[in-house]
Structure formats: structure tokens, C-alpha cells
Amino acid sequence: MKLVPRYTDIGEGFAISDHPAKVTAPQLLLWNEPLAEQFNIQVNADSRANIFSGNEPQAVSAVALGYSGHQFGHFSPRLGDGRAHLLGAISDDKNQLWDLQLKGAGATPFSRGGDGRCALGPAIREYVMSEAMHALGIPTTRCLAVVGSGETVYRNPPQPGAIVTRLASSHIRVGSFQYLATQGDVTSLKNLADLAIQRHYPEINSTGAQRYLDFLAAVIANQVKLVVSWMRVGFIHGVMNTDNTLISGETIDYGPCAMMNQFDFDTVFSSIDKQGRYAFGNQPNMASWNCARLAESLIALISDDDEQAVAMMTPLIEGFSTQFNQQFSAMWAQKLGLTVADDKDNKLVGELLGLLKQHQLDYTNTFNALTESLTGQAQIPSALVSWAQQWQTRTNEHSYNIMRQANPSVIPRNHIIEDIITQYTMHGDSELLSRFSKVMSSPYTSNMQATEFQQPPEDDKNYRTFCGT
């Protein structure tokens, strides 16, 4: 496993050298063999627990990254990796670099008095959810391993500890730019922007101010695509702070995330989201807001005149809603198998969503039933029979394949995730995860083995998720 140093040349104080803290009795709990093969990670099975707990030092010095963040709208100028150590970067089978990070590997200079550890439950959640999102075709960070630390993490209540090994195409966040902009470090800000362009948007070949305008536009486009994909499958991130927004357009931080069962744009599961800031239907607004914060951080790279820079970036930020609405409409058309755009489709979609909410229908199962109804393999829910008569006049011989690619038959439902976590907490293993992973590996196929994972709980309105700190 050859590691390449990362971010150490951006600027002083951005990547601070720091070693993971050793744990007493590391035990490998989860290992992602397909991902290991993709990155040619050839590590002896007996050594994996030591290496991916942080107990075994690497040739490249680990670093903790600094970043700021708007957390539920309130700005914190210095957050940073409070419980994560970036070991370096490794190459995948396409010779592209990915960051390799240990999460829960002990305190760092950014810990602000915390222990820098991670409890087992959040570690298992991140592994299962991120791999499920990858299977669903949604851009995401990945998990290579989960190692039990053999130690107790003192939360409420005390829990067994764990370390997650996370892979991301980069850990450059909106908050990373905020961190440097707040310090007035224009040189480092430019270094970071140029690295981000090189890594994620190499097609940008413009110069001067236009280079960073094109960068902002590319980030906006990827954020639009990401949120549309979240809403297609009913994913609720739960904590869309600027420090949890990667400029690559990948999903990161699975702490308070959840999947929507009964359809409602106002659905919130995060215990700390008291005002519904990051509710299912509010995610587009929050993504646009976060992009505006990125734009503010780039002002010094656009023009010496702040007003001029703002004037140049404003059309890009205002264009977020136009892009989103276009792709959002296209997404609903795919979910309903509509191949030709029609102004009446908006009304058709609106009526369907109104019926879903009115009758408290399950989001995933309803669209799966509509999909399979085209082949006679499922019945349309009784509450939708009248609506479906109009919908069926808009379908054709291509509709089934279009819908099957857009509508999963199985998702990582909240109660399934909780049951897997419970099994790991009690037994250090989960037979449920073994079965679920097989089904989740092909979530867009009609599979009889998926039946046990398709039924939502009778009532999950009181279900709550929590940050993994």
C-alpha cells in the first residue's frame, strides 16, 4: 500500500502533522474486499487490524486538516479534523488518487477537548450506508474497513469504540475554503482551488478570474446532481453543514442520515435538526446556500473589488435553482417512465406526490410497485388506481426499463441499519448484514430475496438519528 502525502503544501496550518493514538486491542470487524482489490491494497489479513486502527505507523506522516463550517447556519471559523487522521493518498485501478483516512483514531490539534474517538454504532452505520449509497449509484465516500478498538468510548451511554477507514476522491470541503478565506490567506486559497481543479475538474483550462468562476460553476453543477440523486431514492443527509459539503460532489458524513419511508417533504430524523433546516424537501435550498458560502470564500480570487467579484458570481449562484428544477423534473419523469416531456407531467407528478402524502404511502415501495405493474408483477396501490389511469396513457414500451433504472426495489432502511448495529454491538458480527449486502449489491433488480428488506416499520415518526461524535 503506497501512500502519497496530501495537502501539506497548501499552506501553513492547513494540514497539521499528527499521529493516530494507539488502541489496546484492535479487532477487524468489517473488510471491503472488492474495494481493496480496486486499490490493489494487499495487506496480510493478520495485519489489517493493526494498520487500520492506526497502531502501525506508515512511511508517510498522517495529517489532520483544518476547515471552518456553518453548522446549522452558525459559523465556526476553526473546526477541522477533530477525530480523523489522513494517512495519505493511494491510486485506484485507473491511476486516480483517493484520500485514505482513519476516522476515530484519536485526538488531533482540532479536537477542542474531545477524545477523537468514534463509537461502534456510527462506524457500522457509515460503512453500511456509504456502501449502500455506492450500490445505488450515488456519489459517495467509501469505507474500506471497520476496526473495533477494544476500548470503551465514553458517550451517553458508554459504548465500544471503533475506527473507520474512509476513502474519498478528496477531503476538500466548502469549509476548507472558508478556513483559508477567514484567515485572509489568499496564496493558500489559490493553492487549494488549483489543487481542487486539478483533481476534480481538469477540463477547466481557463485562466485568471474566469478559472475560479468556472470552478464555482462546476461545483454547483455537481451539488445539483448530488441532491437530485439523494431525493430520487429518499435519502436525508441530516447535517448539510458547509464542513460536510465536498466540492467533488460526493456524499460525506453519515452520522444523522436516514432514509424516508412514508413520503413527506418535511421528513426530519436528525435529533439536532430542531427547525427542520435539513428536512428532505429543504435539501436543494441548503445545497444552494452552501454554494453561496463557497462563492463568498472565492471573492479574493475573482477580483480585488469585492462588489465586482460578487456581481460576477451572482448569476452562477442564482442559476442553481434553474439547474435544479430542470434536473428535478427530469428525475420525476424517469421515476414514472416518461420518455417525452409534456407540460402536463408536472401536474401528474404533483397529484401523485399529494396522494403519497395524503395516504402515507411508502416512497420506495410505491415507485417499485408502479414499475413492476407495467409487467403485471405488482398491483398499483388502491389509493393510486384512479391517478394511474392517466399515468398509463403516458407510458410506452420503454417505460419499464427507464423506471427500473431509477427506482430501487430495496434501500438501506433505518430499522435494518439499527438491527445490524445492534448485532455488532452484542456479538461483534451480523448475519443480517451478510444477507442484506447480497441484496443491496443489485438494488434496482426485482429480487425475491429482497422481500424481508422491503417492508418499512409500521410507524417511524419517532425514529431519531444522532451525530457520531
Any idea which residues carry the catalytic annotation? 243
Is position 80 annotated in a ligand binding site?
yes
Greatest extent of the chain over all pairs of C-alpha atoms, in Å: 66
Rg (CA), the chain: 23
CA distance 121 to 468: 8
Is position 166 annotated in a ligand binding site?
yes
Q: Distance from CA of residue 156 to its chain's centroid?
A: 26
In 3D, which of 4, 44, 50, 46 has the Cα closest to residue 23?
Answer: 50
Is position 82 annotated in a ligand binding site?
yes
In 3D, which of 424, 288, 281 has the Cα closest to residue 363?
Answer: 281
Q: Distance from CA of residue 254 to its chain's centroid?
A: 7
Q: E strands within 155-290? A: 159-168, 235-236, 258-259
Tell me which H or E stretch contains 311: helix 306-335
Is position 173 annotated in a ligand binding site?
yes
Is position 142 annotated in a ligand binding site?
no
Is position 115 annotated in a ligand binding site?
yes
Let me know how many helices (H) and strands (E) the chain has, helices first. Answer: 15, 12
Q: Distance from CA of residue 115 to its chain's centroid?
A: 24
Is position 468 annotated in a ligand binding site?
no
Tell me which H or E stretch contains 70: strand 69-71
Query: Phi and psi for 305 in degrees, rounded to 5?
Result: -100, 110
Alpha-carbon distances, residue 289 vs 75, 79, 92, 307 (angstroms): 13, 19, 33, 19
- 337 sits in the region (left: phi over 0; alpha: psi -120 to 50; else beta) called left
CA distance 82 to 65: 9
Is position 117 annotated in a ligand binding site?
no
Tell me which H or E stretch contains 74: strand 74-76
Annotation: binding site for Mg(2+):
244, 253
Binding site as annotated, residues:
80, 82-83, 103, 115-116, 166, 173, 244, 253
Residues flagged as binding site for ATP: 80, 82-83, 103, 115-116, 166, 173, 253
